[in-house]
Structure 1
Amino acid sequence: MRTLTLNHEYSDSLSDFLLRLADVSTWQSLGSEAHAKRIDPDTEMTVKTPMPKGEMPSALATHLPADAELVEVYMIPGDVIGDSAEIRMTAHAAGVPVEIDALITLTQKGSGTSLSVRAEVSSSIPLFGSMIEQAVVPILEKRLDDRLVKLDRS
């Protein structure tokens, strides 16, 4: 298992940022397909993003279907007590023997929000799992970092 951490600051308040994350149009503006399911008061957001084979290591790309996509599921809290909130995220892609489990911590900082992501990447392949994880982590880190930056602009 490999772990990656990312941090980002946003100008939105914590409650405004959570509302944006629970809005399908936010994810669509990032180039993903999104579906929201309200689980009062929370929102389960399923986000599907195409995974171009050209962005994958060749060892993985040869095993991916032509229309491979990353499927992320976020549980976004609807009620916030205090100045912090946590979002759970899981992700997988068909044909890629990797699971991602992340905890996203949001904290109100003045009028903005501080975001911290801790993601664990694991592979179910015996013997070769660590090599697969090692290949996937830099790609995942870049995609997540790009998305965090784009969320600030959407």
Structure 2
Amino acid sequence: MKIEKSWTYAAATDRVFEMIGTQDFQATKASATSTGDYAAEVTPADDGCTVLVRRTLPTDNFPDALRNAVGKTLTVVETQKWGPADGAGVRTADLDVRVEGAPVGLKGTVRLSPDGTGSTVSMRGDLKARIPLFGGKIEQAAAPFFKDAIAAEERAGRDWLASH
């Protein structure tokens, strides 16, 4: 199942990337979407960085049958591998989100690009549940969780930029 979302920030790409590459922002983002159990790590690398966020999420909004199968919480591990900016100031990250103990994950890209005096962040991914016969139903049940997490990241970014 394809998941796509774009949003803008009223800040230059350098400032937005600086935010993405800080432990403080990643912890804020993880806190906004977790049960309070999270860890965030940022490792600088070749004019880019690798972001690793691990968080425990409630399954309260999952259908009963799915919640019974996975439990009251899920541990989600998100990795973003950001490369250097190109000549136009665009940065791209490989995105990998996996659910521990479940054959469900999202692979895709995140793109940070200049947009007038601000920036646009575009996330595109493919959500897959590798379970014969039930994969599509699980993808449909999990998609709102992934979309909510993306919306929470957008809000956390706006708040972080406004306060820093």
Structure-1-length-normalised TM-score = 0.88
| Distance change (3 Å), C-alpha of 1:151 and 1:57 | farther
Residues 17-45 of structure 1: per-residue CA shift (max 9 Å, x gap): 11111111101122142112233232111
1:102 Cα deviation after fit? 1.9
Sequence identity (%): 18
- State the distance in 2 between where 1:121 and 1:112 align: 29
* 2:34 aligned residue: none
How many corresponding residue pairs? 153
Match of 2:23 in 1: 24
Cα deviation for residue 87 of structure 1 reads 1.4
Aligned Cα RMSD in Å?
1.8
Counterpart CA distance in 2 for 1:79 and 1:85 is 5
C-alpha deviations, 1:79-103, integer Å up to 9, x for none? Answer: 4431322111100111332110121
Match of 2:91 among 75, 85, 89: 85
Q: Secondary structure at the match of 1:55?
A: coil
CA distance in 2, matches of 1:44, 1:21: 10
Equivalent-residue separation in structure 2 for 1:141 and 1:100 (angstroms): 11
Residues 45-124 of structure 1 mapped to structure 2, 5 A cutoff: 45-64=51-70, 68-124=74-130
Runs of 4+ in 1 over 4 A off after TM superposition: none
**What is the rounded CA distance, in whole Å, between the counterparts of 1:59 and 1:24 in structure 2?**
36
Which of 126, 138, 145 is the aligned partner of 2:132? 126
Q: Distance in 1 between matches of 2:60 and 2:72?
A: 11
What is the CA-CA distance between 1:65 and the residue it aligns to?
5.2
Show structure 1 runs of 5+ residues with no match.
Answer: none
Q: 2 CA distance for matches of 1:38 and 1:65?
A: 35
Q: Name whichever of 35-44 and 19-28 sits farther off.
A: 35-44
Gaps of at least 5 residues in structure 2 are: 32-37
